[in-house]
Amino acid sequence: MRIARGRIEFKVRKIPLPFPERVYAVTIWPVIFYEPHVWDDVCVQAHERYHWRDQIRWLLVPWFAAYLLLRPFYGGGDEHPLEREAYRLQRLCKEDSRQ
């Protein structure tokens, strides 16, 4: 566990259902959960920490309601309106780490 700037972050063995198998980290404000292989990945952290801030802006329940309502139209990837910016930050982080 680590605590930084109000975020409570836990390393968990596996992200549980109902989250898809391909999900390795998830934010449910005020907690972020990471599987061990992404625990120290600063780019995944940037992605999840964006969701942490976004859930504060929207409030948790409205954020998840909007996410679930939009999911059939956009899926859960980087085309989803509530994922776009998080994935953009994650990609930028990866590009910066290569330089």
State pLDDT tens for residues 40-86.
999 999 999 999 999 999 999 999 999 999 999 998 889 999 999 99
The answer as to whether 99 is a domain residue is no
* 30 lies in some domain: yes
**Residue entry with tokens 């959960």:** 33
59 Ramachandran zone, left/alpha/beta (phi>0; psi -120 to 50)? left
How many domains does the chain fold into?
1
Structure tokens at 7: 């975020």
pLDDT, position 16: 94
Q: What are phi and psi of 28, to 5 degrees?
A: -130, 95
In percent, how much of the chain has pLDDT > 70?
A: 100
Containing structural domain, residue 60: 2-94
Confidence of residue 93 (pLDDT cuts 50, 70, 90): very high
Contact criterion met (CB below 8 Å) for 37 and 24: yes
